[in-house]
């Protein structure tokens, strides 16, 4: 019998911030998205105050101030490093692990039960708490969807308060009774839209979805939802994804700290995003066959003139050379840019990605002159940036002042990844 565990860190970003600042122990805190836009993580205290997930920060800033809520800009260097440490610990519990997101992993526990899997969950929780000071919840079930749902039960304390919920150790009748008390939208793969459509069919609880006819759901919805229902019934349809597959497309986009009016500044942004994406592309030893650039005004301000446009260009020869991609990116931008608008966001996408070993050379491009065939420069650039930090060496096209960069007004130190930050913490 298959058994999956889903381990999820509690309030992950908020917990990471608290870890290195003990004064915040009982303080309500929130972590903001890029550009200090929306609330993307809340500590238990902030949740208790009723701060909703995803709310734009400026809308609750006054209220937050009254409650003494402390806000942080997102510090991905910190969260990614802590995440790696969690994964390292989890890997010692099972050789088969899927790192599902920055704060969640699936473990294959099949055959590991001593007297049930619950004790495993307790051990995992204890070790992560002891070694890192982070709280995790563990859900266990015979399919990934059930492990996810069990995790939800553990978090909401719907079946005990140990922080571990093991569906394999409770009777089918008990499980179904539990399902009656959970809204269908909590199921992995059932989002807002599908939940609404299910509701119109009278399906609002997990129990009702569990009992629904799989064939009908396949016709009315998709094969995805059919799989979900089978998984809810304990039939494992989704395997662990242990090896992260190469990306089929790489996207880089960001909102600006302030509105941009000038084409020159948009060009800097586009060049910067391309540089990041191309770096990722080279890291997976691949080439992009097409490039898309898009720009847009602020869609949340319908009262100001709106404009958005995207354009894609196929490359005659696939490339991973930042210089080549940037030249095309700037050209595309010039085609879609319209003066007079206040731009709020730009983005680029590298598409039609192929492994470099599959490179199709152009019949017409002059041999030896095409970047990408000889990428010594890019390799050197990457190794310099690895050693001296991201952006240490870059194209002039990226600009120097980057006045358009995103807001990060409440950024905490990079406690675990930067000596400078550690020194600052010591001095405090």
35 binds DNA (CB under 7 A): yes
Which pair of tokens denotes residue 230?
A: 């089978």
34 binds DNA (CB under 7 A): yes
326 binds DNA (CB under 7 A): no
360 binds DNA (CB under 7 A): no
Contacts of 28 (CB under 8 A, 6+ apart): 42, 43, 45, 46, 48, 49, 51, 67, 68, 69, 70
380 binds DNA (CB under 7 A): no
Least distance (Å) between residue 425 CB and DNA: 26
Give residues 183-222 in contact with DNA (rule: CB under 7 A): 187-195, 218, 222
300 binds DNA (CB under 7 A): yes
Dist. CA 62–CA 69, nearest whole Å: 10
Place of tokens 């995103």: 406
Q: Spell out, one character per residue from 259 to 278, where the chain touches DNA: x when CB under 7 A holds, - when not.
A: x-----------------x-
Least distance (Å) between residue 54 CB and DNA: 6
Question: Which of these ranges, 102-110, 204-212, 319-327, 332-340, lies near DNA under the rule CB under 7 A?
Answer: 102-110
Which pair of tokens denotes residue 48?
A: 């208790």
Give residues 149-178 in contact with DNA (rule: CB under 7 A): none
Least distance (Å) between residue 330 CB and DNA: 19
For 247-251, the CB contacts below 8 A with 24+ separation are 247/280, 247/284, 247/286, 247/353, 248/353, 249/349, 249/350, 249/351, 249/353, 250/277, 250/280, 250/281, 250/288, 250/349, 250/350, 250/353, 251/277, 251/347, 251/348, 251/349, 251/350
398 binds DNA (CB under 7 A): no
Least distance (Å) between residue 50 CB and DNA: 18
Pick the closer one to DNA by CB: 277 or 332: 277
Supply the Cα-derived Rg of the chain in whole angstroms. Answer: 24
Which H or E run includes 223?
A: helix 223-232
Between β-strands 250-260 and 39-42, what pairing exists: parallel, antiparallel or unpaired?
Answer: unpaired
Dist. CA 46–CA 61, nearest whole Å: 13
255 binds DNA (CB under 7 A): yes
Contacts of 253 (CB under 8 A, 6+ apart): 273, 294, 345, 346, 347, 348
Residue count at the site for DNA (CB under 7 A)? 50
316 binds DNA (CB under 7 A): no
Least distance (Å) between residue 257 CB and DNA: 9
% helix, strand, coil for the chain, step of 5: 45, 20, 35
Q: Spell out, one character per residue from 47 to 86, where the chain touches DNA: x when CB under 7 A holds, - when not.
A: -------x-xxx--x-------------------------
One of 345, 378, 413, 415 touching DNA (CB under 7 A)? 345
344 CB-side CA count, 13 A: 14
387 binds DNA (CB under 7 A): no
238 class by beta-carbon count within 10 Å (0-12 exposed, 13-18 middle, 19+ buried): middle
371 binds DNA (CB under 7 A): no
DSSP 366-414: PTTTSTTTS-HHHHHHHHHHHHH-TTSS--GGG-SS-TTPPP-TTPPP-
Least distance (Å) between residue 368 CB and DNA: 30
Which pair of tokens denotes residue 141?
A: 């079930």
280 binds DNA (CB under 7 A): yes
Pick the closer one to DNA by CB: 113 or 246: 246
Pick the closer one to DNA by CB: 40 or 89: 40
Least distance (Å) between residue 374 CB and DNA: 26
Least distance (Å) between residue 245 CB and DNA: 6
CB 93 within 8 A of CB 107: yes
Least distance (Å) between residue 197 CB and DNA: 8
Question: Which of these ranges, 18-26, 30-38, 112-120, 411-419, lies near DNA under the rule CB under 7 A?
Answer: 30-38
Dist. CA 357–CA 167, nearest whole Å: 46
Binding site for DNA (CB under 7 A): 33-35, 37-38, 40, 54, 56-58, 61, 100-104, 148, 187-195, 218, 222-224, 245, 247-255, 259, 277, 280, 298, 300-301, 344-345, 347, 406
């Amino acid at each position: 019998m298959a058994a999956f565990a889903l381990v999820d860190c509690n309030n992950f970003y908020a917990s990471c911030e608290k870890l290195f600042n003990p004064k915040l122990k009982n303080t309500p805190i929130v972590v903001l998205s890029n550009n200090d836009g929306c609330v993307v993580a809340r500590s238990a205290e902030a949740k208790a105050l009723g701060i909703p997930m995803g709310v734009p920060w400026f809308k609750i800033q006054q209220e937050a101030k009254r409650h003494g809520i402390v806000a942080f800009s997102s510090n991905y260097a910190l969260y990614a490093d802590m995440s790696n440490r969690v994964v390292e610990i989890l890997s010692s519990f099972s050789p088969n692990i899927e790192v599902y997101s920055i704060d969640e992993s699936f473990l294959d526990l099949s055959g590991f039960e001593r007297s049930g899997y619950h004790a495993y969950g307790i051990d995992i929780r204890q070790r992560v708490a002891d070694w890192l000071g982070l709280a995790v919840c563990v859900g266990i079930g015979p399919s990934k969807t059930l492990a996810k749902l069990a995790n939800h039960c553990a978090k909401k304390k719907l079946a005990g308060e140990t922080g571990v919920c093991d569906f394999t150790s409770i009777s089918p009748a008990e499980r179904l009774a539990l399902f009656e008390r959970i809204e269908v939208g909590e199921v992995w793969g059932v989002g807002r839209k599908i939940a609404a459509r299910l509701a119109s069919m009278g399906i609002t609880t997990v129990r009702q979805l569990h009992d629904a006819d799989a064939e009908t759901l396949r016709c009315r919805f998709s094969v995805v939802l059919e799989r979900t229902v089978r998984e809810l019934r304990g039939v494992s349809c989704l395997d662990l994804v242990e090896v992260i597959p190469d990306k089929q497309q790489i996207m880089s986009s960001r909102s600006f700290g302030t509105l941009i009016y000038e084409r020159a500044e948009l060009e800097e942004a586009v060049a910067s995003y391309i540089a990041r994406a191309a770096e990722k592309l080279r890291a997976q030893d691949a080439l992009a066959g097409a490039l898309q650039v898009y720009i847009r005004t602020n869609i949340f301000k319908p009262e100001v003139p709106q404009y958005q446009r995207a354009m894609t260009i196929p490359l005659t020869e696939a490339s991973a050379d930042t210089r080549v991609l940037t030249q095309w990116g700037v050209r595309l931008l010039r085609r879609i840019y319209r003066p007079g608008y206040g731009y709020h966001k730009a983005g680029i996408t590298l598409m039609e990605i192929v492994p470099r070993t599959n490179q199709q050379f152009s019949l017409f491009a002059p041999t030896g002159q095409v970047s990408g065939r000889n990428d010594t420069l890019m390799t050197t650039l990457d190794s310099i940036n690895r050693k001296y930090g991201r952006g240490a060496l870059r194209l002039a096209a990226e600009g120097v002042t980057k006045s358009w960069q995103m807001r990060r007004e409440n950024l905490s130190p990079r406690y675990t990844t930067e000596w400078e930050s550690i020194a600052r913490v010591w001095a405090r």
